[in-house]
Amino acid sequence: MNFLNDHLLLLSVLVPLLAGLVVALAPKEAAKPLALVGFGLPLLLALHAWRYFPAGNGAAYAFLENYNTGLAGVGIALKLGLNGLSLPLFVMAAVVGLAAGIYAVQSTAERLQGYLALLLVMQAGLMGVFASVDVFFFYFFHELALIPTFIMVGVWGGRDRHYAAMKLTIYLTLGAMLSLLGLIAIYVKSGAQSFDLMELRHVLAGRPLADAWQQRIFGLLLFGFGTLVSHWPFHTWAPLGYGAAPSSTAMLHAGVLKKFGLYGLLQIALPLLPAGAHEWVRTLAWLAVAGNILVNGFVTIAQRDLKQLVGYSSVMHMGYAFLGIACLAAAPASGSGQAAAGGVVLLMVAHGLSVALLFLLSTSIWQRTRTFDLGAMGGLAQSAPVLAAFFVAATFASVGLPGFANFWGELTIFVAAWQFSPLLTVLAVTGVVISAVYSLRAAANVFFGTPTEEFAAVAASHPPADLRWAEKIPALLLLVALLGIGFWPKAVSTPLNAAVTALYTPVGPDLPVPDTR
């Protein structure tokens, strides 16, 4: 048990990484069981961390592990740990990873061993992102997860995969470079001798950067991380990329990797650069509401391709998270600002689970209908009632109905946003109506609408089968997690509240709330 606790986080990274290497070289018949081990063990390790995490730990890190990389001269060490902010995302990454892995194992993709190996490398990077205390390795693990994404979209993707992979590469490389510049700037300007986030916080608490430098560096991080999260108007890579990506790749990227940017803003940028964040509040809030939520919401309504609709919906819901970050940046010491931070993390976890479930089910629909065209389907609930039930539940979760985890994230952000700006809150709540329109329309068209003559003829001769257990298991895993948090949000909020209170209580005087009217 001591060995497990001492190396728990390193094992959560090494197990899928080594499993990926073994799967690539193993005999074909052994690849699938080995892949399942590589995806399953990180979840067991994450649940162990969740079970034994000290609830009152605040912003301090538990399960600290420090490994010498030989780069101490430039302040780089592999330091791993979890605090109340990173713990929920670490567990969510493991849950989505196992669901994506189970779904990938039953795939009919060519060169399946290579596909599974790349997914496992991606999973290793995802676990490392949320376990990293060293800012350099936080960035390194993101790149470790990102590179397989480009390959899998380009090789195993669907329609327009080469164009999608190229656009992904350009946008996400640009966003990553801006983020890296911002992280290096913090290290250089702080005068710290290490990329250790705890050391950076300690140094900058005593000697904060000048406001002008904070504003510049936060701007780099905002647009760098924002591009990686698909912040409007740098979002067009996401629907195209997810539409072309293999299902498990889309599940891991949209569900988990896309949270890297939001997590970086919450864990690094806002605590270290509070004055700089304050200067960007109005820009951030209005882009989130007007761009991500409203403009992108109406674009989502116009979609007639199911997978594109899910992709645009994912971009839209990031607007709520950015609005919550704006509320926090405006008044980090206030109860509403800190509540917004908790709401953002809850929404990140909930969105990761629900969007992964929607991508899984969308592909299951395609496998039965051979189309993503909403106008070419209908009446599927008659032959696939279990699939219909899962899809309707995933739709309700995405809209934010009570009983699902998404409800708590969105509600908390809206309550905090009302203290920040009633106008922006009203506009943001309008997005809930928009999301209900396109989500319920999609469910109605696919499962309860009148089928076209062509589809009805095909369904009469070859009735679509319902979900197999190989599909039900990963879908159940995600749905149970959504319902579990929905009915017991305390499982996430207890360690999260302590971390938020400790992390965002500023050392200096409170900043005035800007006029957003």
Per residue in 423-457, pLDDT (tens digit) is 999 999 999 999 999 999 999 989 987 777 777 76
Measured distance CA(257)–CA(267) in Å, rounded: 15
Output the DSSP codes for 238-295: HHHHHHHS-HHHHHHIIIIITHHHHHHIIIIIHHH-HHHHHHTHHHHHHIIIIIIIII
Looking at every residue in the chain, the average pLDDT score rounds to 90
Q: Look-up: residue for tokens 């590589």?
A: 38
**% of the chain residues with pLDDT over 70:** 95
Residue 449 falls inside a structural domain: yes
State the average pLDDT over residues 156-169.
86
Pull the structure tokens for residue 197. Answer: 């986030």
Say how many residues make up the chain. Answer: 517
pLDDT level of residue 73 (50, 70, 90 thresholds): low
Q: Is 365 helix (H, G, I), strand (E, B) or coil?
A: helix
Tell me what pLDDT residue 459 has.
66
Residue 154 falls inside a structural domain: no
Pull the structure tokens for residue 273. Answer: 């650069």
Residue 409 falls inside a structural domain: yes
Measured distance CA(69)–CA(75) in Å, rounded: 10
Q: How does pLDDT run across 373-414, given as a tens digit for each residue?
A: 888 888 888 889 999 999 999 999 999 999 999 999 999 999
Spatial CB neighbours of 320, under 8 Å, sequence gap ≥ 6:
288, 293, 347, 409, 410, 413, 428, 431
Measured distance CA(360)–CA(353) in Å, rounded: 11
Query: Structural domain tally of the chain?
Result: 1
Q: Give the helix/strand (H/E) hosting 376.
A: none
List, in sequence order, every beta strand (DSSP E) within 281-347.
Answer: none
Measured distance CA(247)–CA(253) in Å, rounded: 10
Residue 96 falls inside a structural domain: no
Would you give the end-to-end CA distance of the chain in angstroms? Answer: 56
Whether the pLDDT of residue 45 is over 90: the answer is yes
Measured distance CA(517)–CA(511) in Å, rounded: 18
Tell me what pLDDT residue 22 has.
95
The range of the structural domain enclosing residue 344 comes to 282-517
What pTM was computed for the model? 0.94
pLDDT level of residue 460 (50, 70, 90 thresholds): low
Residue 191 falls inside a structural domain: no
Whether the pLDDT of residue 491 is over 70: the answer is yes
Q: Look-up: residue for tokens 């205390």?
A: 133
Residue 67 falls inside a structural domain: no
Measured distance CA(116)–CA(108) in Å, rounded: 12
Residue 330 falls inside a structural domain: yes
Comparing C-alpha atoms, which of 305, 304, 287 is closest to residue 296?
287
Q: CA-CA-CA-CA torsion for 144, 145, 150, 156, nearest 10 degrees?
A: 120
Q: Is 434 helix (H, G, I), strand (E, B) or coil?
A: helix
Residue 346 falls inside a structural domain: yes
Output the DSSP codes for 185-216: HHHHHH--S--BHHHHHHHHHHSPPPHHHHHH
